[in-house]
Chain A
């Protein structure tokens, strides 16, 4: 019986997936807090979609490693979105939607040329079991970078989120902070999109933080619960998917969604 539950550890791919989830999910839990506070859910969703275009451009230009073209494109895309929504008169929602759908269309058009899209369809759902050791090292690096950014600039980010002009009057470089945050979201989404999948990556960014909001009253609780929910959904989702033979990403999101509804009901009762 015990063997039945521990056998998964003997598979290298499961060990790697386990370690990857230990890194990715707390990271998503942390970033998600400010994505939700800044009402950027739609923004991170659009970023995920830009992955298709990034890969397509890489293929067209004959780049050997399409991950690189994907990351570069996503960073440019994120900065461009920030710039245009600060200049344009249309609402941020509309602009992001326009860019997001245009990105999907261009990506799909190029990648499906000659009927070859099935080669890329794994990107849509993701596969955490295919993660390699080298890729885990990249994740550790971005994890460390994010923690440093959060330690140094979190207060400023929070100040900007509450009131831009007030933050600016206190000498905070509003645009710089917003752009660095957008670049971090782009990097993390791109580095984890292969494992989680374009279709559900945003759910993983938003759900733990949204659940945590239901029951938190200050920033410390907000972060703590968000990280715990994210980590718990990740690990439980991985285990369930191993035993039931269902794709891991969707399983993680299902667990996170259940936590969200539970905290919603709990939060309302205690309000």
Chain B
């Protein structure tokens, strides 16, 4: 991935009036977001608030209403949005013979991984893994990676084809405190050094307060959004999260 000195801050992703209805049930309605390159936007909310649904709608994995635009702010030119995605976990069982190379090569190229290992691609993948201190994992089986290792591998893969928008689903389990700190530092490194915007679902409010530039609290719709301080001080925030504590 091409490194730049500073994100230009001129690219903007606009999500306009996005809504998702599955069957009879309306899961999200009228979601409006502006996401700028070089910033970390974090989605928070209780379980079942529609955070993952929003990510899947942006990925175009589920049908939705409304529009998603990617604009160059200077000349208003609309470009094709390239999305990198880091899922929470993979659909992989124990002892599945898929190495990290096999996985990344499968997504990145058409050179059949069951036949041979492409030296050029192997080097490219290694370079990308190096960015997140994961190059030693390249020949390991994906199913044997720890939660933190898998996250770093998936992150390396997501940035390989220079996305404009990086969507991340923060892992809930399998990562210790050090791993979490590293994860957030990696994201900070990405947004400061590359020309991309990051949208993250998070469950850890302390890290969000420390690292987020923009926080969006959702529950079927956008309840409130702003800087971490603005959101954390809002009534909606207190209502959602004190309710959760009382019930929990």
> In the complex the two chains form, what is the Cα distance from A111 to B1 in whole Å?
63
Is A156 in contact with chain B by the CB < 8 A criterion? yes
Is A67 in contact with chain B by the CB < 8 A criterion? no
Is A212 in contact with chain B by the CB < 8 A criterion? yes
Is A134 in contact with chain B by the CB < 8 A criterion? no
Of the listed stretches B64-72, B103-111, B229-237, chain A binds B103-111
Q: With CB as the reference atom, state the residue of chain B lying closest to A38.
A: B91
> In the complex the two chains form, what is the Cα distance from A158 to B107 in whole Å?
8
Q: For B90, list chain A residues within 8 Å (CB).
A: 162-163
Is B74 in contact with chain A by the CB < 8 A criterion? no
Is A219 in contact with chain B by the CB < 8 A criterion? yes
Contact A159/B116 with A217-B141, A222-B97 known, Cβ cut-off 8 Å: no
Is A62 in contact with chain B by the CB < 8 A criterion? no
Contact A218/B61 with A155-B106, A162-B92, A165-B85 known, Cβ cut-off 8 Å: no
Q: For A213, list chain B residues within 8 Å (CB).
A: 95-97
Contact with A along B109-133 (1 / 0, CB 8 A): 1111111110000000000000000
Q: For B109, list chain A residues within 8 Å (CB).
A: 155
B114-A150 in contact (CB<8A): yes
Contact A159/B106 with A219-B113, A220-B114, A222-B114 known, Cβ cut-off 8 Å: yes
Interface size class of A (residues with CB under 8 A): 20 to 34
> In the complex the two chains form, what is the Cα distance from A40 to B98 in whole Å?
17
A219-B107 in contact (CB<8A): no
A154-B91 in contact (CB<8A): no
Of the listed stretches A9-17, A167-175, A179-187, chain B binds A167-175
> In the complex the two chains form, what is the Cα distance from A163 to B102 in whole Å?
14
Is A115 in contact with chain B by the CB < 8 A criterion? no
> In the complex the two chains form, what is the Cα distance from A162 to B56 in whole Å?
16
Is B83 in contact with chain A by the CB < 8 A criterion? yes
Residue of B83, B93, B101, B113 touching A154 (CB-CB under 8 A):
B113
Q: With CB as the reference atom, state the residue of chain A lying closest to B84.
A: A169
A218-B59 in contact (CB<8A): no
Residue of A152, A167, A267 touching B110 (CB-CB under 8 A):
A152
Is A37 in contact with chain B by the CB < 8 A criterion? yes
B56-A165 in contact (CB<8A): yes
Of A151, A170, A221, the most chain B CB neighbours within 10 A belong to A170
A155-B113 in contact (CB<8A): yes
Q: For A159, list chain B residues within 8 Å (CB).
A: 106-107
State which residues 3-55 of A face B: CB under 8 Å. 33, 37, 39
Residue of A150, A151, A167, A219 touching B102 (CB-CB under 8 A):
A219
B91-A218 in contact (CB<8A): no
Q: With CB as the reference atom, state the residue of chain A lying closest to B110.
A: A155
Is B60 in contact with chain A by the CB < 8 A criterion? yes
Q: With CB as the reference atom, state the residue of chain B lying closest to A155.
A: B106
| Between-chain CB contacts (< 8 Å), 23 pairs | A33-B114, A151-B112, A154-B112, A154-B114, A158-B98, A159-B106, A162-B103, A163-B87, A163-B91, A164-B91, A165-B87, A168-B61, A169-B59, A169-B60, A216-B97, A217-B141, A218-B101, A219-B99, A219-B102, A219-B113, A219-B114, A222-B97, A222-B114
- List residues of B whose CB falls within 8 A of some A CB: 56, 59-61, 83, 85, 87, 90-93, 95-99, 101-103, 105-107, 109-117, 139, 141-142
- Sorted from nearest, which 8 A-B pairs have the closest CB atoms? A216-B97, A222-B97, A218-B99, A158-B106, A155-B106, A223-B114, A165-B61, A159-B106
* Beyond A164-B61, A170-B107, 8 extra complex contacts between A and B, CB < 8 Å: A37-B98, A152-B110, A154-B114, A156-B106, A159-B107, A218-B97, A219-B113, A222-B114
